[in-house]
Amino acid sequence: MSEYKGIRGWKVQTVSTDPAASLIATGSWASGGSLNTARAGLGGAGTQSTALVFFGSNNPAPSYVGNTELYNGTSWTELADGNSIRGYLAGFGTSTAAIGTGGYSPGGDSALTESWNGSAWTEVGDLNTGRPNIQNANAGVSTAGLVWGGYNPPGTPTNSRTITESWNGTSWTEVNDLNTNRYDTGGNGTQTDAITVFGTTGAGFVPSGETWNGTSWTTVASGNTVRTGNALTGNSTSALTFSGAAPSYVGLTEYYNGSSWTELADLTTGRNLGTSSQAGTTSETLLAGGRDSPTRISVTEEWTLAPTFQQENLGQVYYNSTSNSFKVTQQSIPVGTWGSGGNLPAPMYIGTSCGTSNTSGMAMTGFSDPGITYSSAAYQYDGASWTTVASLNTGKNNASSAKNSPITTTLNYAGDGPGTYSATNESWNNTSWTEEADLNVSGNAATGFGVSSTSAGRAGGQSSVTPPAGPHFTGTEIWNGTSWTEVSDLAASRRYAGGVGTVTAALYIGGDTDNPAFPGGRYTARVESWNGTSWTEIADLNTGRYSLGTSGTQTSALAFGGGTPANTTATEFWNGTSWTELNDMATARRGGTGNGSSTSALSVAGESPASPPFIATTEEWNAGTANFTITVS
C-alpha cells in the first residue's frame, strides 16, 4: 500500500483549525478589555487601538447612559459624559473627533447630535428626522458623515425607514434614500463610499446589501446568514460584518470583496447591537458591548489577520482535531476568480473556440482588426501565450466549433462569409485543416458542441431557412465523422447563444431571440438541455444575455460576459440544477468566445464597450480552493 506522503509529497498533519484559503481568511477574534459599563445600542468611533464608545442602553433595560469610554488596545477608560442619555444612536469619526446622533432617549425618538473633541461633548445641529435603531448605520468623519435607515413608530406605513442624511460638520441634509427600508442594519465607510447589509424592515429580515457612492444607493449581493443588529467595518469594496441576531445571537463573521460574501472565523461571544471601531479596517477592528440575551454585556473582541500567509496545497489531506474529522483542500467553483491571460496575437470578434482548460485552448476565425473581416486564423494557448497555427481553408465569422474537444482534434463549421450563410465544415488534426461534408442547412451564429472532429453538434442560429417557430433557426444537426444528420429542434428560436457539452448531453444557453416580446426579454435567460434525442427547457440564467462565453458540461458549466444588451462582466455557474452568480471578469465583453471546464476556463477577446477596434485580451478562470470534510460511506 502506498503512503500518502509518497503519493503527494506531503504528510497528513493534525491541525486544530483548517488552513486558510486567503489572507483575509486568516483573520480571527481575540478577547480585549471589558467595557466599564455594559451596554448595547452604543455609538462607536476610532480604530481598534484607539476606539471610543459612547451612550447606549444599559442594564436593567430599558435604561440609557451618556457614558464615554476610550480604548487603548488593552483597557477602557471613562471620559466625560455626553449632554444627554440615549441608546441605539449612530456614531462615527475618531477618538478625538466624533459624532453621536439620533437614537432613543427616555423622552422618545431623538434627533440630537453631539460632537466630541477629545475631551467633551457639544450639542450641534439636529438630524432632520429623529429616529432610533441606527447604531452602525453610519459612516464618515466628524466633518463629513452619513446616517441611514432607522426605526419608525408603530402605526406608520412601515416600521422602518429608507431616509439617508448627510452631515457637513454643521448640519444634516436629506439625500437619496436606501432602496430597502431597514433598521438595526450594519454599515460603515465614508460619506462618499459606504456599505450596509442586513437589518429588518420590522416585518422581516433584510438579506440584501447596499452600497453608497456619494449620490445614491445600489443593491448588491446578499450576505449568507441574514440577521439584525450586526456590526460592520469597511467600505463598498472590502467589508467585514459580524455578530447579530439571526434571530438567536450569533458571532458569525462575513467578508465582502466587492461582489460576494464569504464566511470567516466567528466571534467567541455571539451578540447583537454592539459597535465596531468605525474608523477600523477589515484587517483590524473590534466589537464592543452588545447583548447576548436581554442582558447588555461589556465584552470586547479584537479582529486581526495573521502576520504571514501561505496558500494551502491543493489536494492536501489533514486531520482536524477540533472537529475530529479528516479533511482535504479541494477546488471550489463558487470561490473561483478570473485572472489575466496572455493576449491573442490579434483581436478577435465573433470567433469560436475549443479546449479543455485554461492551459489548453484554441481560438479561430471571426473578425480580426485591422481590416480582416472574415479571418481564417487559428491560435492555440498553453496557459501563458498564444501560438499561431495553420489557418482554415475558409475564413468566416460566427462559425461554430466542437466546443468541448481538445485542441488536437476539433471541428469548425457553418458561419458566414461576405453576404452568405455557410454550410462548410473543416476538421483539425493538430496539424492542418481538412474540408469535410457540409451541413444540411447553412447558417451562422449557432451554438456548437461536441468532443472531437468526429463528434459534434450544431443548434439554432440564423439561417436562410426560417421556420414558423420564430425569426431564427431552431434546427439541430449531429456530425458523426462522416455526415450531418438533422435531429429534434430547439423549443425556442434564437441566435448568439452559448453552448457546452457532447452530442448526447449539451446545453443551449441564453441568446438573442430578436423578439422584444419574448417572455423575459429579447436577450433571453432561457436555457435548454439536450439529451441526445430532444431539447428540454431548464432553469434560467440570472441575467439574460447573448454572444456570451461558455465552458463546462451539461451538469457543471459557466456562462460569462455577453450582451445584456450592454456588455457585461457577469459570470454564472450551473451546478446541474440552478445558476449562481460568481465573481465577475475584469473586462466587460461581448462576441468573445470561451472554452474549458467549470473549474478551468478561458474567456477570449471580443468586443469591448468601445469597439471597434476589437480586443485581444483574455482572462483565465480558476476555481478557488476550500476545505471539505472527507466522508466514508
Interface residues with other proteins (CB under 8 A) are 22-24, 190, 192-193, 211, 213, 235-238, 257-259, 282-283, 311, 335-343, 349-350, 367, 373, 384-385, 397-398, 418-419, 563, 565-566, 569, 583-584, 586-588, 590-591, 607-613, 617-618, 620, 622, 624
- 153 backbone dihedrals φ, ψ, rounded to 5°: -65, 155
Amino acid found at 20: A
CA atoms of 46 and 98, how far apart (whole Å) = 8
Q: Which residues on adjacent β-strands are paired with residue 325? A: 320
Considering the complex, what minimum distance in angstroms separates the CB of residue 351 from other proteins? 12
Cβ proximity to other proteins: between 385 and 432 the closer is: 385
Closest CA to 175 of 193, 148, 197, 150: 148
Cβ proximity to other proteins: between 296 and 396 the closer is: 396
Cβ proximity to other proteins: between 302 and 620 the closer is: 620
Closest CA to 493 of 464, 476, 473: 473
Considering the complex, what minimum distance in angstroms separates the CB of residue 339 from other proteins? 4
Question: Are 573 and 587 in contact, with CB atoms under 8 Å apart?
Answer: no
Question: Are 607 and 575 in contact, with CB atoms under 8 Å apart?
Answer: no
Considering the complex, what minimum distance in angstroms separates the CB of residue 246 from other proteins? 26
In Å, how far are 192, 223, 228, 270 from 206, measured between CA atoms? 23, 10, 8, 19
Cβ proximity to other proteins: between 291 and 589 the closer is: 589
Count the Cβ atoms, other than its own, within 10 Å of residue 311.
12
Cβ proximity to other proteins: between 373 and 454 the closer is: 373
Considering the complex, what minimum distance in angstroms separates the CB of residue 140 from other proteins? 12
The set of residues, in sequence order, having a beta carbon less than 8 Å from that of 609 and lying 6+ positions away, is: 566, 567, 588
Considering the complex, what minimum distance in angstroms separates the CB of residue 609 from other proteins? 6
Question: Are 400 and 484 in contact, with CB atoms under 8 Å apart?
Answer: no
Closest CA to 403 of 415, 411, 395: 411
CA atoms of 248 and 521, how far apart (whole Å) = 42
Considering the complex, what minimum distance in angstroms separates the CB of residue 311 from other proteins? 8
Cβ proximity to other proteins: between 49 and 409 the closer is: 49
* Kind and range of the H or E run holding 4: helix 4-8
Considering the complex, what minimum distance in angstroms separates the CB of residue 89 from other proteins? 26
One-character DSSP codes across 376-405:
EEEEEE-SS-EEEEPPPSS--BS-EE-TTS
Cβ proximity to other proteins: between 63 and 611 the closer is: 611
CA atoms of 618 and 622, how far apart (whole Å) = 13
Cβ proximity to other proteins: between 104 and 421 the closer is: 421
Considering the complex, what minimum distance in angstroms separates the CB of residue 503 from other proteins? 28
